[in-house]
């Protein structure tokens, strides 16, 4: 009888042991991410073309990516075309922009708007007659240092014999400015110098563990009870 009781008592040990393995700490993880890309300030920066003689005003301008440059034309006739520092008074070979010759009289109402899509320097000029050679050149986002300055660009332009321009307007929006509003038509789009750039900023949250309430206490209690029962059974068998 005592042997059968011992076997019955020992049969509960696996169940007690199994219960002692429950209620372990669990962990959950969560993460979040966000991405943003710069889009500029949405500002339109004005450049006057020929208002003060054969010049762009201002001739040098820093513009954030995503902002626009609005060229306002003054009499009698001017144009704006993108060039390169190495070849002033000549259009850039790929991409860029060109307004075409804009003739106006009296009050300036004609505009040509270009969007800045990267931080690379944008050198440009007026190719009407000898305007470029006379110093009618400009730059958007000039280099912060080095020899490529607006003064050096003007000096190089003065050495060019003749200016050249593309056949048709492209790369911007040619329109009419009326009471600070612009009625416009879009010229052919460009894809090279006006290539887009963006930076992506990503943040991710780290996983954080969470425990089941009182789980550790439950494990310790069941484990202690298992030890006491086992000790009692062994003592009873040995009697």
Q: What is the pLDDT of residue 16?
A: 39
The pLDDT score that the predictor gives to residue 39 is 58
Residuewise pLDDT in 10s, the chain (239 residues): 444 444 444 444 444 344 444 443 333 333 333 333 345 678 999 999 999 999 999 999 999 999 999 999 999 999 999 999 999 999 999 999 999 999 998 777 899 999 999 999 999 999 999 999 999 999 999 999 899 999 999 999 999 999 999 999 999 999 987 544 344 444 443 333 333 333 333 333 333 333 333 333 333 433 444 444 444 544 545 55
Q: How far is CA 29 from the centre of its chain?
A: 29
Q: What is the pLDDT of residue 40?
A: 64
Q: What is the DSSP letter of 94?
A: S
> What are the E-state strand segments in 76-180?
77-78, 81-83, 102-103, 110-115, 122-125, 137-140, 173-178
The highest-level CATH class for domain 40-196 is mainly beta
Residue 55 pLDDT = 98
Q: Look-up: residue for tokens 């979040």?
A: 32
User: What does the block give as tokens for 55?
Assistant: 């010049």
Distance CA 227, CA 16 (A): 10
Q: What pLDDT is recorded for position 14? A: 43
Q: In DSSP terms, which residues pair with 212 in a beta bridge?
A: none
Q: What is the pLDDT of residues 88-141, one digit of tens each?
A: 999 999 999 999 999 998 777 899 999 999 999 999 999 999 999 999 999 999
Q: What is the pLDDT of residue 106?
A: 77
Residue 132 CA to residue 193 CA, distance in Å, equals 21
pLDDT at 109: 84
The whole-number pLDDT of residue 177 equals 78
Q: Are 235 and 54 in contact (CB under 8 A)?
A: no
12 Cβ contact list (under 8 Å, min separation 6): 229
pTM: 0.61
Q: How many residues comprise the chain?
A: 239
- Residue ranges per domain, the chain? 40-196
Tokens 């106006």 sit at which residue? 104
Residue 108: predicted pLDDT: 74
Cα–Cα distances (Å) from 225 to 8, 45, 219, 237, in that order, read: 17, 81, 10, 19
Cβ pair 160, 89 in contact under 8 A: yes
How far apart are the two ends of the chain, measured CA to CA in Å?
14
Tell me the helix, strand and coil percentages in the chain, rounded to 5.
20, 25, 55
Nearest one of 59, 58, 47, 194 to 120, comparing CA atoms: 194
């Amino acid at each position: 009888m005592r042997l059968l009781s011992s076997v019955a008592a020992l049969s509960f040990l696996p169940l007690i042991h199994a219960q002692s393995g429950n209620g372990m700490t669990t962990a959950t993880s969560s993460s979040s991410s966000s991405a943003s890309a710069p889009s500029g300030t949405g500002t339109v920066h004005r450049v006057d073309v020929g208002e003060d003689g054969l010049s762009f005003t201002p001739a040098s301008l820093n513009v954030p990516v995503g902002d626009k440059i609005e060229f306002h034309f003054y009499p009698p006739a001017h144009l704006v075309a993108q060039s390169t520092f190495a070849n002033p008074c000549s259009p850039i070979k790929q991409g860029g922009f060109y307004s075409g010759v804009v003739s106006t009289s009296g009050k300036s109402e004609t505009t040509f708007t270009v969007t800045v899509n990267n931080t690379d320097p944008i050198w440009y000029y007026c190719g009407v007659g000898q305007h470029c050679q006379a110093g009618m050149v400009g730059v958007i986002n000039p280099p912060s240092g080095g020899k490529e300055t607006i003064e050096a660009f003007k000096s190089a332009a003065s050495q060019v014999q003749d200016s050249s321009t593309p056949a048709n307007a492209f790369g911007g929006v040619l329109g009419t400015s009326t009471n600070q509003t612009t009625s416009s038509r879009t010229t052919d789009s460009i894809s090279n110098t006006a290539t887009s750039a963006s930076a992506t900023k990503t943040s991710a949250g780290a996983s954080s563990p969470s425990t089941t309430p009182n789980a550790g206490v439950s494990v310790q209690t069941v484990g202690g009870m298992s030890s006491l029962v086992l000790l009692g059974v062994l003592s009873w068998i040995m009697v």
